[in-house]
Amino acid sequence: MSSVDSDAQLYRDLGATPVINAAGNQTVIGGSRPSPAVQEAMTAASRYYVSMDELFQSTGEIIAELLGTEAAFVTPGCGAALALSAAACMSVGSDERMEQLPHTHNIPNQFLFQARQKYHYQRCLTIFGGHVVMVGNQNGTTVEQLEDSITEQTAGIHYYAWGDPEDDIQGLDSLLTIAGRHDLPVTIDAAYQVYPLDTMKSYAQAPNAMIGFGAKYIGACNSTGILCGKKELIQAAYGHSFIGFESGDLETVGRPLKLDRQEVVAVVVALKEWLAMDHDARIADHWRKADHIETSLAGVPHLEIERHVEDNSLSNGVMLIIDEKGAGKTGAQVVDELKAGDPSIWTRARGNRLRIAVAHLIEDEVDIVIDRVRKVLG
């Protein structure tokens, strides 16, 4: 049995199907594949125990310096970063409020959010007692609508950095200006805004804000994230973290959001590696794999192929455009058939367009994907 087969057998022995990741950084299939340097650092970190408070404080300073922001610490994912951000907004500067959460009687707990940006993860703001107030509608949100929505119950303004600026919604600069006029903080979900590097740092350096990143996107563990931003707010969020609960004097809310020392180390090593990486070479390797897939699938009936380019270059690859009538099956059926094999192949699709992301495909997997697509399309 080859090493690849034995690696896959590990999951089979545990009752799970091994997956070839042609979908990108997806939480539901494990999120990331840490580099050898990150894995080695995690192994080394297992040798000794450490004061977790000391480790969080020191690594937070390192992360803050690397990103050019006031303060930072490692969180168990970007979702936790958002939840801790909301808790900080509702309780900063008040020990009484720190301990009162998640009960918000007489505590401002509303977070304004543009209706057109509504998405799955706004729910994270509500975990510790926050309440999301939608402003505007699907046609957009104006400055006046946001200003008129601010009340004594407003704890902050939320922004989802989805990477596609639109004229009908307020961009981050506009929200920061509005928030500044009312002395309100801004919470920013910049989970996957990690490239270009200038983009990542510009979000991290936003004033009077707390910014969450998903560390899986930079090659750390699926279970990790970064929270950074204004020092006063980050310190309040840290007070609500699991180690803030354990090492501080207050009974705060984030005790369930625990991390291990190896995960904290992984984030710092991955971030250093990400910031020093030759990203031109990384992206060139994407196109090498994509070109091989495109060339190998040329001539498959009822199939058109084009390059798929993402602005953040995390899920570059190829787009398969299926003639559903000619092929006798829908894009969704093709996705399901690829997923049904062993190893399972996960992709993403919208209608008859099937995206194969190549960033996480190792060499032998590229040809496996090609062969399976050929078989599924007959």
Considering only the C-alpha atoms of the chain, give the largest distance between any 2 of them, rounded to a whole number of Å.
68
Beta bridge partners, 188, equal 159, 211
Report long-range pairs for 272-277 (Cβ below 8 Å, ≥24 apart): 272/66, 273/35, 273/37, 273/38, 273/218, 273/219, 274/194, 274/197, 274/218, 274/219, 275/66, 275/197
- The stretch 27-55 carries a mean pLDDT of 97
% pLDDT > 70, the chain: 99
Multiple choice CATH, 36-276, 3.40.640.10, 2.10.240.10, 3.30.70.1290, 3.40.50.300: 3.40.640.10
- Which pLDDT tens digit goes with each residue over 263-313? 999 999 999 999 999 999 999 999 999 999 999 999 999 999 999 998 889
Please give the backbone phi and psi of residue 49, each rounded to the nearest 5 degrees, phi first: -85, 170
Is the CB of residue 355 less than 8 Å from the CB of residue 347? yes
What confidence score (pLDDT) does residue 378 get?
A: 80
Is the CB of residue 204 less than 8 Å from the CB of residue 228? yes
Under the banding of pLDDT at 50, 70 and 90, the label for residue 3 is very low
Question: How is the chain split into domains, by residue range?
Answer: 3-30+278-376, 36-276
First to last CA, the chain: 29
Q: Which two tokens stand for residue 149?
A: 């929505």
CATH assignment, 3-30+278-376: 3.90.1150.180
- The candidate with the shortest Cα–Cα distance to 362, out of 44, 79, 4, is 4
- Nearest 10 degrees: Cα torsion 169, 69, 263, 128: -50
- Which pLDDT tens digit goes with each residue over 108-137? 999 999 999 999 999 999 999 999 999 999
What confidence score (pLDDT) does residue 4 get?
A: 55
Distance of CA 219 to the CA centre of its chain: 11
- The stretch 73-86 carries a mean pLDDT of 98
- Which pLDDT tens digit goes with each residue over 174-207? 999 999 999 999 999 999 999 999 999 999 999 9
